[in-house]
Structure 1
């Protein structure tokens, strides 16, 4: 089935998820929505997050998408149940990779860097309680990080200084795993590796989401088997498209990013 996969996030961060999906499923057409106008979702109420997630999902469905990937931890943890109950296409969400970090931690101490919207959600709380009974968990709200990434400052001195402050309680607790609980945060990995001890492993959800996407496509007979030439990936932003274009073309690609009011 050669209908596209739809991916949305509260901004450019979900491209870290899109890249993993595109790498694993190169024969699938994709449409990416960057809701940068409303970023960050992490500071919004649950109802606001649900309303924004519905808006994005309906826009992607109007474009003919056969499957929706909610490439935003905050939207997943606050709105995924509503979306799945409202639409009859497969909807895949992402959430912090707490389980693998907790199971693999030798120090029995892990750090979770996420937005307030994720850390205070019911889904996050249930997942954390299930897998971290004997683990010391240091939860830190990444206040200000999404805004810095959205403004193109992910490698700036300002971002580095903020990360040093945010990570301090994790370093004091001697964590050996850092879970990135926001799809924007993989773009901070170069700085995080400079700041963290070499033995601290960083985990995000990108590869797992891509594998789950493939599995759901297969289960529902939605894999693209068409021999037609694929359209190039489609990217839309409801803010300055140059911000999304900078991130998506960082590896010398030449993808077009268009402005779309949604």
Structure 2
């Protein structure tokens, strides 16, 4: 029996990363933890975000004897990785906005980064741009509303295109041809965003790159087969809507558990 992979996010956005990991490693066991009690992370103070994430991830990873932890949240990854790695002896993988491949892919030398306000303001993000997109014009767009749109979509509600168009309007005013989706919630709205932005803008996220990184850190993957049967459980820090429960069940999740934050 192989130890499970723990995937963590503030909400359901990390499912976009988990989907890519499962596609590459279909025979592994997975546990998904989302901190919906404090959603959206882009609005939290740094100290609150760090202490809460570290507490939840360390406690659950030890409880389930995780083989590896994926912080499937750009906002959290810009802050909590050093603290987590100091407390855990297993690999901890974070999510990095796909700035480097976006700069390489752009034909016009203009790219955009669409992320939560927390990710946009981080020095970490600015350093990525300086290191890997110094020759490009980089447009920055912050939105927490998209996180909530994605959450509502996963719970079964229709996407409000009028709201989406307002959020994306500043992007349409630029000449960029590659847009980095710097929040793991945003790929869940890819089709709707394509409908609004048209074909001239390529949408880029880091899900596949994260999956390859996870694969490289688990050398026993060659022994895993799809016949093993998957554990696909999930934990929440607050109650979730019935529609979201139903959607998670359709995706193969089971064993819902409440995992409260520390007092």
What is the TM-score normalised by the length of structure 1? 0.89
What residue in structure 2 maps to residue 14 of structure 1? 14
What residue in structure 2 maps to residue 191 of structure 1? 192
Q: Per-residue deviation at 1:226?
A: 6.0
What residue in structure 1 maps to residue 229 of structure 2? 230
Identify which range, 226-235 or 32-41, moves more after superposition.
226-235
What residue in structure 1 maps to residue 258 of structure 2? 260
What residue in structure 1 maps to residue 47 of structure 2? 47
Listed one character per residue, the Cα deviations across residues 72-120 of structure 1 (whole Å, up to 9, x for unaligned) are 1111011112212232110000021011001111111111110011111
Listed one character per residue, the Cα deviations across residues 107-161 of structure 1 (whole Å, up to 9, x for unaligned) are 1111111001111112211111111212111111113121232233787453x22
Write the distance in 1 (CA, Å) between the matches of 2:50 and 2:109.
34
Q: What RMSD over aligned residues (CA atoms) do the two structures have, in Å?
A: 2.1
What residue in structure 2 maps to residue 140 of structure 1? 141
Residue correspondence of structure 1 range 41-190 to structure 2 within 5 A: 41-58=41-58, 59-152=60-153, 156=158, 158=160, 160-190=161-191
Write the distance in 2 (CA, Å) between the matches of 1:6 and 1:230.
17
What residue in structure 2 maps to residue 240 of structure 1? 239
Write the distance in 2 (CA, Å) between the matches of 1:6 and 1:15.
12
The answer on whether the counterparts of 2:67 and 2:90 sit within 8 Å (CA) in structure 1 is: yes
Q: Could you tell me which runs of 5 or more consecutive residues in structure 1 were left unpaired when the two chains were aligned.
A: none
- Structure-2 change in CA distance of 1:243 and 1:155 (3 Å): closer
What residue in structure 2 maps to residue 200 of structure 1? 201
SS at match of 2:210: helix
Listed one character per residue, the Cα deviations across residues 174-233 of structure 1 (whole Å, up to 9, x for unaligned) are 110011011111111111110112121101111111011001112xxx437367833431
